[in-house]
Structure 1
Amino acid sequence: MSQKKMDDYIQEGIYGPKEIRPDERRRFLGTIRERVVLVLTQAEVRGEKGIKELTEAMKQYPSSKMLLNGDMNFRFFKPYREVANQHKISYTSITDKASTSNYGLVLTMPDAIDKEEIFLPEEKEVPQEEETKKTSWWKKLFETD
């Protein structure tokens, strides 16, 4: 065996098999960015947001798989699991003791799709109306018309 192969063999024995993009895999619950269809943060999952978008993504990508963050309480995933069952999409809970992820749910494909927008669009804040702005009583007292 050549020296390079021997070194690779020893390194693999000590540290485990080489992994492509380990940081991405930790962030996206075991998959890489180029395979991701849709991502929901933990806060979005707790707020039951993105169910409509997830349903559309499952219709568009019927061979996808749903990854659930195992660090979250399983009850938060009930509406998402129901949608997955309706569309015959398998799901798996992923728990990684070595790292944590801000993402609560990842819809992924077995092969690369390189989808640009994988996050939910941000909701726009509704501006406050003039009526809700209050003037202090002190200013009203000294206002001159």
Structure 2
Amino acid sequence: MSKKNVEDYLTEGIYGTRLPKQEERDYFLGTLRERIVLALTIGQIMTDKGLDYLEETMKNHRKATLLFNGKIASRFLKAEKELANKYSIPYTVITNEHVETDIGAVLTYDYAIDKEQIFLELDNNQTNQQNTKDHHKQSVVTKLKNFFQ
């Protein structure tokens, strides 16, 4: 182990002690991937997709903690906060202006659980319906563009 120099002490004083896997912690709202039970994207939180799955996961993991991305308006978090209160799961809103992440909420423990699948995947039927809606929207927009040209 190398000795610390003056620059190391100054850096620690300004930015704090460097934590292992800092990029991973920033992405997952301050926690590590190995501790996560479920991670939802900002889009899934804002549209309430996966709310039923979140509730089922909360039923099975009552000792976990729920972390929310502070960049999401509180009106979009209302249903998730109600679920957390219903199952007595503590939640925290994490705001870090210096970090960009697409994670909206994380159900996590204070210790490693190493769950392989932490992201909510839409089933094929939902995915196909969403793709059909997107295609329909694109075709309408294309039709309008062609009409005015």
TM above 0.5, yes or no, is: yes
Instruction: Report the counterpart of residue 109 of structure 2 in structure 1.
Output: 109
Q: How many residues were matched structurally?
A: 127
Q: 1:51 to 1:17 in 2, by over 3 A?
A: same
Larger Rg: 1
Q: Once the two structures are superposed, what CA deviation does each residue of 1:110-142 show, in whole Å capped at 9, x if it has no partner?
A: 1100001111122321598xxxxxxxxxxxxxx
Q: Once the two structures are superposed, what CA deviation does each residue of 1:19-56 show, in whole Å capped at 9, x if it has no partner?
A: 11111111100101000110110111111011111112
Alpha-carbon distance in 2 for matches of 1:82, 1:15: 35
Alpha-carbon distance in 2 for matches of 1:91, 1:114: 21
1:4 aligns with 2:3: yes
Following TM superposition, by how much is the alpha carbon of 1:80 offset from its aligned partner in structure 2, in angstroms? Answer: 0.5
Instruction: Report the counterpart of residue 145 of structure 2 in structure 1.
Output: none
Instruction: Report the counterpart of residue 73 of structure 1 in structure 2.
Output: 73
Instruction: Report the counterpart of residue 31 of structure 2 in structure 1.
Output: 31
- Please report the TM-score for the alignment, with normalisation by the length of structure 1: 0.79
For 1:78, what is the secondary structure of its paired residue?
A: helix
Q: Which runs of 5+ in 1 are unaligned?
A: 129-145
For 1:4, what is the secondary structure of its paired residue?
A: coil
Q: Once the two structures are superposed, what CA deviation does each residue of 1:9-28 show, in whole Å capped at 9, x if it has no partner?
A: 62423542021111111110
For 2:3, what is the secondary structure of its paired residue?
A: helix
Q: 1:4 to 1:41 in 2, by over 3 A?
A: same
Amino acid at match of 1:92: T
Q: 1:14 to 1:84 in 2, by over 3 A?
A: closer
Instruction: Report the counterpart of residue 122 of structure 2 in structure 1.
Output: 122
Amino acid at match of 1:84: A
Alpha-carbon distance in 1 for matches of 2:50, 2:20: 29
Higher helix proportion (structure 1 or 2): 2
Alpha-carbon distance in 2 for matches of 1:105, 1:20: 22
Paired-residue identity, %: 41
Q: Which runs of 5+ in 2 are unaligned?
A: 133-149
Q: CA RMSD in A?
A: 2.2
Amino acid at match of 2:51: I
Following TM superposition, by how much is the alpha carbon of 1:97 offset from its aligned partner in structure 2, in angstroms? Answer: 1.2
Instruction: Report the counterpart of residue 20 of structure 1 in structure 2.
Output: 20
